[in-house]
Structure 1
């Protein structure tokens, strides 16, 4: 990496929701940015935890037994195997996900989407 990554510029480069963009990699992990709005599908990741860091907006992480709400500057990690559904009820959310490189970012039970370079 030869220069700092400007996240505002990266977020401005796309409009799609639930379509992660790869912005960096380190130690075999992908750093992805994503814009979300509305409800995603219930899904689980069998082989990895799911890391959410909210930059803007408020995100609910629904699990079968509870809901965790995270806002700007807050993060939450869904443990592997736990069924969950991210929901942005109150407007668009911009966030960062960090996952092992090549991980199906959407988990079992969710629609398949390719992660593209931002």
Structure 2
């Protein structure tokens, strides 16, 4: 058991939309990523996904609404729900999701798909 300094972990990388793993519990991975710009619309057929904003602000567009999340706010996106994260400026985001979750959901052949994620 070791404490994790989130600020220090986020300072280890500069790219966007590339999740890194910082922890694991009960089959769930704790991931962090920097968001900037717009990600693709996608869904996860079998996994719920939690987004918590550590720094900045993000928007998550759904089919019928858009939610804005500020620092300290989070949202759980249920499995099967189409969603599209975006951030006008750089945002730091923490995510909880099952280890089987692919960042682009059913769009596994996307240029944005990241597999074999590294630990930081």
* Same fold flag (TM > 0.5): yes
Quote the RMSD (CA, aligned, Å): 1.1
What is the alpha-carbon distance in structure 2 between the residues aligned to residue 17 and residue 71 of structure 1? 18
What is the alpha-carbon distance in structure 1 between the residues aligned to residue 99 and residue 81 of structure 2? 20
Greater strand percent: which structure?
A: 1
Query: Can you give the 5+ residue segments of structure 2 that lack an aligned partner in the other structure?
Result: none
Residues 1-118 of structure 1 mapped to structure 2, 5 A cutoff:
1=1, 3-89=2-88, 91-109=89-107, 111=110, 112-114=113-115, 115-118=117-120
Decide whether the 8 Å contact of 2:27 with 2:98 is kept in 1.
yes
Task: Give the count of matched residue pairs.
Answer: 116
Could you state the TM-score of these two structures normalised by the residue count of structure 2?
0.91
Query: Can you give the 5+ residue segments of structure 1 that lack an aligned partner in the other structure?
Result: none
What is the alpha-carbon distance in structure 1 between the residues aligned to residue 24 and residue 119 of structure 2? 11
Q: Runs of at least 4 residues of structure 1 off by over 3 A?
A: none
Could you state the TM-score of these two structures normalised by the residue count of structure 1?
0.93
SS of 1:60 mapped into structure 2: strand
